[in-house]
Amino acid sequence: MSPPLESCPALVLNADFRPLSYFPLSLWSWQESIKAVFLDRVNIVSHYEHVVRSPSFEMQLPSVIALKEYVASARRPAFTRFNVFLRDRFCCQYCGSAFPTHELTFDHVVPRSKGGRTSWTNVVTACSCCNLTKGSFMPRECGMFPLTTPFQPTAFQLQENGRAFPPGFLHASWRDFLYWDSELDAT
């Protein structure tokens, strides 16, 4: 029994055979995949049992395709909670411990009350406990300095960090993906 075509997307790999993107996972509809095959833009890596037919051709639906030409990810990663946590590998930047995502929050290194901005270079992942302890102190006032100076990551750095986690771990984080993926208010 064949699944409906709509539930047969293809995973799109870059020319280096890594997913084109992890967040969200790069998936193309079966129509897009077939079009790319006909335009000779992709190699078929794997396919479904499902066969599509027209009067002039028949082919098994691709389930994994790889781009023939490498696409550099030049796009700057979005400034979202998920990406901040991913940059910091889901570890509190004050105590260094890893926490399940629902126990993580983020901290302004220079507190907002002291003019700190909500930006890549002033926001770090923190556990609730450290976040509470730091409160609205400057780092030197409470002796709490982030383990890594916050920075604007590249898409590549995030991808690399993502690869360190089992898919299930990240998948669990996708349950509230809309929440994760809403851009932080960069003020």
Q: Where are the beta strands (DSSP E) in 1-41?
A: 10-13, 27-28
d(CA 91, CA 135): 18
* Binding flag, residue 109, Zn ion (CB under 5 A): no
Total residues contacting Zn ion by CB under 5 A comes to: 5
Nearer to Zn ion (CB atom), residue 20 or residue 127: 127
Q: Does residue number 130 form part of the binding site for Zn ion (CB under 5 A)? A: yes
Q: In what order do the strands lie in the sheet with 27-28?
A: 27-28, 10-13, 58-67, 42-53
Stretch that binds Zn ion, among 91-99, 111-119, 144-152, 168-176 (CB under 5 A): 91-99
Residue 165 Cα to chain centre, angstroms? 11
Cα 26 → chain centroid: 10
* In the complex, least distance from residue 16 CB atom to Zn ion, rounded to whole angstroms: 36
Could you write out the DSSP letters of every residue in 114-132?
GT--SSTTTEEEEEHHHHH
12 contributes a contact to Zn ion by CB under 5 A: no
Q: Which of 95, 148, 181, 184 binds Zn ion (CB under 5 A)?
A: 95
Residue whose CB is less far from Zn ion, 22 or 94: 94
* Binding footprint of Zn ion on the chain (CB under 5 A): 92, 94-95, 127, 130
